[in-house]
Amino acid sequence: MLKFDAYSYLSQHGIKPSVQRQAIITYLYEHRTHPNVDDIFTALQPVIRTLSRTTIYNTLHLFHDHGAILALTINGETVHFDFNTQSHTHFYCLKCNKVFDVPEMECPTPTLPKKYDFEVTEYHFYLKGYCKQCKAENEKQL
């Protein structure tokens, strides 16, 4: 397996590759768990003591603005971030709040009537419910 080159990845997306930015994008590359700002802060702050939540928040939004990552706002409260920028389906668990990829399920491509003359640059397809573990826990409680 090839080692991820954060410097080149950020440069290809027109982003100046600072040490903090490289650490954040590497974390997203290595942890395909759709983390939020707090998840990334908890993981990286012990290693990069000067890292703040604000820096992570601003960096993630910079990455998203440059097309380097996806920003997922599924529950209307927490933004989750995804390194995989290819169109794919996500499943959101209503109990544990985790986001899962469902790559086997094709994302329907939306088509708009010509009269609107809109250019679609991004779309998301989410499923919501209970993951396997949470479903099993719910069934035990019944």
What is the number of domains present in the chain? 2
68, 74 in Cβ contact below 8 A? no
Looking at residue 78, the DSSP 8-state letter turns out to be -
H helix intervals, 13-108 = 19-30, 37-44, 53-65
* Same domain (yes/no): 19, 32: yes
User: Which of these three, 85, 113, 133, is where a domain ends?
Assistant: 85
Residue range of the domain that includes 60: 1-85
* Same domain (yes/no): 44, 1: yes
* Same domain (yes/no): 55, 108: no
* pLDDT confidence of residue 122: 75
Distance CA 19, CA 125 (A): 33
Residue stretches of the chain with pLDDT short of 70: 1-2, 108
Q: Give me the CATH number covering residue 18.
A: 1.10.10.10
Q: Give me the CATH number covering residue 90.
A: 3.30.1490.190
* Same domain (yes/no): 69, 99: no
* Same domain (yes/no): 77, 27: yes
Give the global pTM: 0.86
Residue 92, CA distances (Å) to 18, 28, 47, 78 in order: 32, 18, 30, 12
90, 34 in Cβ contact below 8 A? yes
User: Which of these three, 85, 105, 121, is where a domain ends?
Assistant: 85
* Same domain (yes/no): 29, 94: no
Measuring CA to CA, which residue among 66, 51, 83, 64 is closest to residue 11? 66
Q: Encode pLDDT of 104-142 as tens digits.
A: 777 767 788 889 998 887 777 889 999 999 999 888 887
* pLDDT confidence of residue 1: 56
